Amino acid sequence: MSLFEKFETAKLLKSGLATAGADPTGVVFDTLNSPTEGVVDGRAIILAGTNNYLGLTFNPECIAAGVAALESQGTGTTGSRMANGSYASHGKLEEELADFFQWPHAMVFSTGYAANLGVLTALLGKEDVVLLDSDAHASLYDGCNMSGADIFRFKHNDLQSLERRLTRLKDRANRCLIVIEGMYSVLGDCAPLAEIVALKNRFGAKLLVDEAHSLGVYGEQGRGVAEAQGVLDQVDFIVGTFSKSLGAMGGFCASRHDVLSLFRYVSRPFMFTASPSPAVMATTREALKQLRTRPELRASVWANARQLYGGLKALGLELGPEVGPVVAVRSKDRQTALANWNQLLESGVYVNMMLPPATPGGGSFLRCSISAAHSAGQIQTIIEKFSKL
């Protein structure tokens, strides 16, 4: 087998996408007019697949903060914090994240993906064990694989499966990290965190929760599913991203354990990746401030989510198991998903197409993500476009 033969499968995938219409990997937005509106090939498009949950990407205060940082500190850091030092805004954002979670420690990474790789490879080693939810994000899988730890999957959100895994570990349970997400990004279902916390306490394991898609949306203060289920004080590590509710780019880890402060010395993605730019730090800090001071944003997300979920459910479509900012519509097969995604795009609605193998149970889904910035009229238009598929 030659070096390039392995790409034959990718070539077939590309060909199949092209024959069905537009290739999702090649969609280009000519302009973005707001958090919920753009233009593709000259057509006005409602954006319903951006993960822009709080709608802050065009927020005037966030933009002004970014512009001020660009003008005063330049376009980039040109190196890692280990090599080039930290900007004051890196430390301030870490302090503000720690205060947000009411924990002593927080650490900023250049992307959410890097945060998961950086935390898991720092935390885990060859003598350790990780129990990983089968529907966990690719970045969590990759971080666990790179760590060298023994990896065992348990069935998605299945407490009996997790308990069996923990029981089999016996004395190794105290060297075990359970890795889950708060809200899962394809179907929008949430982990039974209270029950998982009870199991991890019983067996002496540790727990890492990826709140990438739930930050800003769940919990009275927007801290995520762990807060919403009343167990934040018993979680060991929270990881997340700035690229969704905070409308920027970057990632973080927060923890109640002092060991997080030592990750800076051993986490290779942190040590060898250029640090986030001053503008990104500035917009993220302002977005975090707005998350904390504008609870009406969360109220808008949930009102829109209920409207969309209820409207699509009334059409008889098969949806994810619970109402939330992610609303996934199951297609009967891959070709139907491709055809429907193209029809929606042509009719003025952009959603995410989720195809196997990167989907739960190998299903094909059209995935909508709801923003606080969507109007009720836009949500109704999305429902009407789905009704014509």
pLDDT level of residue 168 (50, 70, 90 thresholds):
very high
> What domains can be seen in the chain, in order of their start residue?
20-49+295-387 (3.90.1150.10), 60-293 (3.40.640.10)
Catalytic residue at 257?
no
Q: How many CB atoms lie within 10 A of CB 343?
A: 15
Q: Residues 90, 137, 206, 213: which is the catalytic one?
A: 213
Rounded to an integer, what is the distance from CA 94 to the centroid of its chain? 19
pTM of the model: 0.95
Place of tokens 């476009």: 385
Tell me, what's the pLDDT at 13? 81
Angle at 137 between CA 316 and CA 243, to 5 degrees: 90
pLDDT digit string, tens, across residues 287-323: 999 999 999 999 999 999 999 999 999 999 999 999 9
Contact 202, 194 (CB under 8 A): no
* Coil/strand/helix, residue 280: helix
Q: How far is CA 180 from CA 58, 124, 293, in A?
A: 31, 15, 28
CA distance 148 to 120: 10
The residue type of 6 is: K
CA distance 339 to 52: 25
pLDDT digit string, tens, across residues 39-81: 999 999 999 999 999 999 999 999 999 999 999 999 999 999 9
Tell me, what's the pLDDT at 160? 98
Q: Residues 139, 185, 214, 371: which is the catalytic one?
A: 185
- H-type alpha helices, the chain: 8-20, 60-73, 81-84, 88-101, 112-123, 138-147, 159-169, 193-203, 225-228, 268-271, 278-293, 295-314, 334-346, 376-387
Q: Residues 137, 156, 244, 385: which is the catalytic one?
A: 244
**Extended strands (E) in 66-148:** 105-109, 129-133
CA distance 232 to 55: 25
pLDDT above 80: residue 1: no
Q: 281: closest CA among 58, 35, 73? A: 73
Catalytic residue at 185?
yes
